[in-house]
Amino acid sequence: MNIVVCVKHVPDATADRKFESDNTVDREGVDGLLSELDEYAVEQALQLREKRSDEEISVTALTVGPAKAADAVRKALQMGADKGVHVSDDAIAGSDYLGTSLVLAKAIEKIGSEQKVDLVVFGMASTDASGGVVPAMVAERLGLPQVTLASVIESQGDQVRIKRDGDTATEVIGATLPIVLSVTDQSGEARYPSFKGIMAAKKKPVESYSLSDLGVEASEVGAEAAYSAVEEATARPPRTAGEIVTDEDGSGATALAEFLASKKFI
């Protein structure tokens, strides 16, 4: 079985995130890492390989992004993925979801031209753009069923069954491979890369593709081709000091209730 996990290199959410002058995310000037939500996708792919250890299962980590994005692939390799693919091309910068999904779909097709891809795994969304739509778009482009937002994944043969937790009900969805799957942060804690994994990752193969390798025209992607553009970005205002209710004469509870009522919490 051939599994492709799509992973994204995102700016570290705990650091100071910035925009470039053209209002795209600054991906060079800040520390980046493998999107935490994508770690769950890597974990599920690895668990599937471990649960079906009697089969030959290969896990490929795929990323699209500038040079530093290779770190996301390496992290996935450290966790246990077998090989990596890094699509990098200056023309991709500023792509919207449609552009990104096109590049990913073409890359998955190229991976599949050597060995058929049975399963594409995504995290539920990226931690920077938070769109959560790319899995569906890639599924559409590949002509595959999309089975998204899975919290529990079970598989046997070519059958996959997932649980999707909604606000009012939990759905159980069955599908036949090949499919595009996205998993939530409830699907199981992602493993840490072991020391052996860190050392082994160095020797695992990582292929680099450019747009021309994928047969994608530069005009189809990038900021120019994007349907949406960020016009303006404003830094979040600094947190203001809260209101402190001092209770000296027993009126504290009333003051608290009044405050909550004024904000329509009660």
The DSSP 8-state label assigned to residue 220 in this structure reads: G
The DSSP 8-state label assigned to residue 265 in this structure reads: -
Minimum Å distance from CB 192 to other proteins? 5
Q: Do 137 and 108 contact (CB within 8 A), yes or no?
A: no
**Core vs surface per residue 240-265: b (16+ CB within 10 A) or e:** eeeeeeeeeeeeeeeeeeeeeeeeee
- Span interacting with other proteins, options 86-94, 171-179, 186-194, 217-225, rule CB under 8 A: 186-194
Asked whether position 196 contacts other proteins by CB under 8 A, the answer is: yes
Minimum Å distance from CB 188 to other proteins? 15
| Residue 229, phi-psi category: left (phi > 0), alpha (psi -120 to 50), beta (remainder) | beta
Query: Of residues 61-80, which lie at the interface with other proteins (CB under 8 A)?
Result: 78
Q: Which residue number, 31 or 90, has a Cβ lying nearer to other proteins?
A: 31
Applying CB under 8 A, which of residues 194, 208, 212, 251 lies at the interface with other proteins? 194
Asked whether position 197 contacts other proteins by CB under 8 A, the answer is: yes
Helix, strand, coil % over all residues of the chain, rounded to 5: 35, 25, 45
Give the per-residue contact string, 116-155, with other proteins (x = CB under 8 A; - = no): ----------------------------------------
User: Where along the sequence are the contacts to other proteins (CB under 8 A)?
Assistant: 78, 191-199, 202
